Chains A and B, each alone.
Chain A
Amino acid sequence: MTEGGASAFEGVERGPQTSREPAYKEGEESTEGPGHPSVSALQEKFGSAILRTEVQAGDQHVVFAEAPRNCEILEWLRDDPGQRYDLLADLTAVDHGGGRPLQVVYQLWSMTHKRALRVKCEVDLDALVIESVVRLWETANWLEREVYDLFGIDFEGHPDLRRILMPQNYEEGHPLRKDFPLCGRFSRAEQTKRALSQDYRNDYSVVEIALGGTPALPPTEADGLSADSGEGFVTAARGAPGEPMTESVLEASDPDLDSEHMLINIGPQHPATHGVLRLICELDGETVVKVTPDIGFLHTSFEKLGEYRTWNQIVPLTDRIDYLAPLIYNCVYVMTVEKLMGLQVTERCKVVRVLCMEMERIFSHLLWLGTTAIDVGAFTPFLYAFQERERIYKLHESFTGARITTSATRVGGMMADLPDGWTDSLRDFVKTFPNTLDEIDSLLTTNGIHLGRTLDVGVISGEDAINCGFTGPNLRASGVDYDLRRDKPYYDSDTYDFDVPVGENGDCYDRYLVRMEEMRQSLRILEQALERLPGGPINVADPRVSLPSKTDCMNDMESMIHHFKLITEGISVPAGDCYFAVEGSKGELGMYVVSGGGEKPVRWRIRPPSFVNLSVIHKLAEGHLVSDLIMINASLDIVLGEIDR
């Protein structure tokens, strides 16, 4: 849809939300909130390189560092014994719009001291360059590629800086910038035409083409290209960003042209990749020499779309990100916004959300179990798991009306209270589900074939796992005891009596065992939460978010106006930013929202656990057989909707 045309959606198409006011005032430092040892240590050590500090959302400390010294500061934060921020939870960027500099945001977490810190570095629009932190945290590899792709910031020293979510020949620009229109710069017909060009050079890097050989279908005249060089439109071949594919690039990359290795694609259309994932494998017979994941085949631009939606309108979008555990996403999103607003929900709402999240964990793990088993040939657990999932679908449906796309939460509460009998159905599920779980357990856990496929396959050590950004069951299987329910508690999660299963070897079998045990522990939490479920209202009666009752509206002008404004404009969230994470079924599921004080977010960032978990598949799978690659991919429990967003 082109801009300026007569549109029925004028309000929506006015453009993405930009900050109405700067998120801070020059020279002003907010000093409320508890002190943070790292902040004071940083100021002491680096002095003028720390431009400012602030406290957001009550207790989140943010440090603004000088962009040229970001690596130095972050390295000190990672290595100094008093700081030890060994987990890079998230790396993203924010465009506030209006010509303001872009902010590169680093979310850090220290496993040893159990502290979080946010570091921001500002880069000017005319000099979008900053040093890469890949050498500090392997996590940053894909995260920086994503920031490059969506914002256009160059990361110096990055080993492989090229687009990750958009196609390699994408020419419309960098989508998450504020001057980029929602529907893209080209017309739909042009986008369709470009998308359907049969040019294999968009899909493979220079080295891969040299290794693989001639394509089965060279591009034709009709594609607007000639077979030898980039005429028609320039394909940014993947030697380096912007560098066209020429003979010299081919020579410089020095491929082993005589190699007997085979180059194949697994996916994107494949039953065993758990979604539209493409793995480009270099094989020596059956052994995987090198595997490169290619993602972006499901990139739906949720984050851009969020900038055009009011705070509550984003909730239906959250279901569709991780469609295997929609309620967790519904919950974490509103929890982030509520934290930014400083809004406390009711006790009943807290317990209901805990019920929903733990139920979703089982829901998601059941699908993981079914599909992983079917990947290695065990069909029965798939059927059993799906039969159990049907019971949870019924629970979803009776509560929210939808099986998958639940949209159950709102800022300040839930869409509705639990229907009568829902807790009884859930209690019934909790009582009978262990039977099926035991049965699947007996089929797989001591099964010789399953053991043979999973023992010592895809091993990763604990320190590597932390450095690569693993979280969730994958990290725990490698021996690292980190669970956000216990370490960054929310909704009294640390008051529930449950164990956190931790593995030893970090292989596929341990990941399997950890998830099986997690399902049992979730059942324990569900039982306890069902006991604790208090009565009372489900939605908080806070005028910022709650609609007045109908009787009030009919009788009282102020209530009528309040209702009207909340419906037509949406709720309004004060300026600031907030990062909030929960223990999702796949790992640390975080959301980072930046508000400019308006009814729509300036930036909505989803910290996707699967994205970070998948980025290290090459480490896990190289040297194994192709069938092991499939098992490793399955054991990471990825969901492409979350990876590609």
Chain B
Amino acid sequence: MSGSYIPLLILFGVSVVNALGMGIASHVLNPRRPTPQKDMPYESGMIPLGDTRFRFSVKFYMVAISFIVFDLETIFLLPWAVEMRALGWGAFAAVSIFVTVLALGLVYEWKKGGLEWD
């Protein structure tokens, strides 16, 4: 059983080494010349006004929260989908209830206009 985890560990190791290696190589080899103009936020070549710590419009929040909810739904569905046959009808019923509840939520949001930008 433990043999099937070895490739996973190797994959993990290689990706960590790769990422760290690229980071370290860039750090060592690349020049660092910080200047105030370089640290300034880029705004198409003009000097930007205002702070980046800004009170964003609440409409962005609406889009973000909807995304989070339905994205998490997908994440929960994935492990079930992988082991669907082994888990049987009980799990299917549970997942169906889960999806139905979220679908009702989607319909509610749709009707309330939460999917429109304005």
Chain A contact residues, CB within 8 Å of chain B: 198, 200, 203-204, 208-209, 211-217, 260, 262-270, 278, 284-287, 625
**Residue of chain A at shortest CB distance from B37:** A217
Q: How far is the CB of B25 from chain A (nearest CB, A)?
A: 31
**Which residue of B44, B59, B60 contacts A266 across the interface (Cβ within 8 Å)?**
B44
CA distance A236 to B52 in the complex (A): 28
- Closest B residue to A209 by beta carbon equals B49
Q: In the complex, A558→B33 CA distance in Å? A: 70
Check if B51 is an interface residue, CB within 8 A of chain A: yes
Inter-chain contact A198/B47, CB cutoff 8 Å: yes
16 residue pairs bridging A and B, Cβ less than 8 Å apart = A200-B47, A208-B49, A212-B50, A215-B47, A216-B47, A217-B36, A263-B50, A266-B44, A267-B45, A268-B44, A268-B46, A278-B46, A285-B58, A285-B59, A285-B60, A625-B117
Tell me what chain B mostly uses at the interface: helix, strand, loop, or mixed.
Answer: loop
A217–B47 touching, CB < 8 Å: yes
**In the complex, which residues of chain B have a beta carbon less than 8 angstroms from the beta carbon of A203?**
46-47
A491 to B45, CA, bound (A): 45
A456 to chain B, nearest CB (A): 14
Residue B54 is within 8 A (CB to CB) of chain A in the complex: yes
Q: Which residues of B contact A286 (CB under 8 A)?
A: 57, 59-60, 117
Given A260-B55, A284-B57, A625-B117, verify A267-B44 contact (CB < 8 Å). yes
Closest residue of chain B to A283 (Cβ to Cβ) is B57
1/0 per residue, CB under 8 A from A, across B39-74: the answer is: 011011111111100111111100000000000000
Cross-chain contact B50 with A265 (CB below 8 angstroms) = no
From A284, which residue of chain B is reached at the shortest CB distance? B57
Partner of A216, one of B40, B54, B58, B59: B40
Name the interface residues of B65-118: CB closer than 8 Å to any CB of A.
117-118
Alpha-carbon gap, A269 to B48, bound state (A) = 13
Q: Flag if A278 contacts B56 (CB, 8 Å).
A: no
Q: Tell me the complex Cα distance, A545–B117, Å.
A: 63
Which residues of A are found within 8 Å of B117, using beta-carbon distances? 285-287, 625
Residues of chain B touching chain A, judged by Cβ–Cβ distance below 8 Å, are: 36-37, 40-41, 43-51, 54-60, 117-118
| Residue pair B44, A212 in contact (C-beta under 8 Å) | no
- Cβ-defined contact, A262 with B50, below 8 A: yes
Closest residue of A by beta carbon distance from B55: A260
B40-A214 in contact (CB<8A): no
Which residues from chain B contact A266 at a C-beta distance below 8 Å?
Answer: 44
Q: Is the CB of B57 within 8 A of A265?
A: no
Known: A217-B36, A217-B40, A263-B50. A269 touches B60 (CB 8 A): no
- B47 contacts A264, CB within 8 Å? no
Point out the residues of chain B lying under 8 angstroms from A284, CB to CB: 57
What's the minimum C-beta distance from B56 to chain A, rounded to whole angstroms?
7
Nearest first, the 3 A-B pairs at minimum CB distance are A212-B49, A285-B57, A213-B50
Decide if B47 touches A260 in the complex (CB within 8 Å). Answer: no
4 further interface pairs, Cβ-Cβ under 8 Å (given A216-B41, A217-B40, A265-B44): A211-B49, A214-B49, A263-B49, A284-B57
Question: What CA separation (Å) do A278 and B47 show in the bound complex?
Answer: 12
Q: How far is it, in angstroms, between the C-alpha of A286 and the C-alpha of B46 when the chains are bound?
A: 20
Interchain CA distance A263-B58 in the complex, whole Å: 17
| Cβ-defined contact, B49 with A213, below 8 A | yes
Instruction: Tell me, in angstroms, the Cα distance from A238 to B84 when the chains sit together.
Output: 67
Q: Can you name the residue of chain A whose Cβ is closest to the Cβ of B49?
A: A212
Q: Does the CB pair A262–B44 fall under 8 Å?
A: no
